[in-house]
Amino acid sequence: MAQPDPKSVVARFNREVIQDGNRDAFEMLMAPGFVNWSAPDETLRGAEAMWKTFDSVLRPALADLQVRIHEQLCDGDKVVTRKTITGRHVGALGGVAATGKDVAIDVIDIVRVRNGQYAEHWGVNTLAALVARLRQS
């Protein structure tokens, strides 16, 4: 059986998991033993911690959450994605109460896709800079 295109797997994850909050899609797209190498410490490197970032941090804080993929590059089983996550700040984010402002988080991530699932993740984003700006407003 042919494996799905790695870029389409990552695009699906961004649309169905991050943007739509679909837990079933998350379960289907995460490989056993998934590792998020960008997590601040090893206790947060598993799939469940990644889900909580979306479900308990971003989704409650950002109404009308959207993910816009600007570009994707694929090299073997690794997909590099440059994207922007946008929404309206309606809940606490990084200790900052809702401001009602439209916000954007720029992200570049690398995902290793194996058998149509996320096996590993590395990434950088501007969430900390966004929170700092919100604190100043």
Q: Domain segments of the chain: what residues?
A: 6-136
Tokens 């809702």 -> residue: 98
Q: How many CB atoms within 10 Å of residue 107? A: 20
pTM of the model: 0.94
CA distance 69 to 11: 8
Nearest-angstrom CA–CA distance, 74 and 96: 36
Q: Which fold has domain 6-136?
A: Nuclear Transport Factor 2; Chain: A, (3.10.450)
117-133, pLDDT tens digit by residue? 999 999 999 999 999 99
* Cα 62 from chain centroid (whole Å): 13
Question: Residues 20-78: pLDDT tens digits?
Answer: 999 999 999 999 999 999 998 999 999 999 999 999 999 999 999 999 999 999 999 99
pLDDT of residue 3: 81
pLDDT of 137: 83
Is the pLDDT at 1 greater than 80? The verdict is no
pLDDT beyond 80 at 2: no
Q: What is the pLDDT of residue 123?
A: 97
pLDDT at position 19: 97
Name the phi and psi angles at 76, rounded to 5.
65, -120
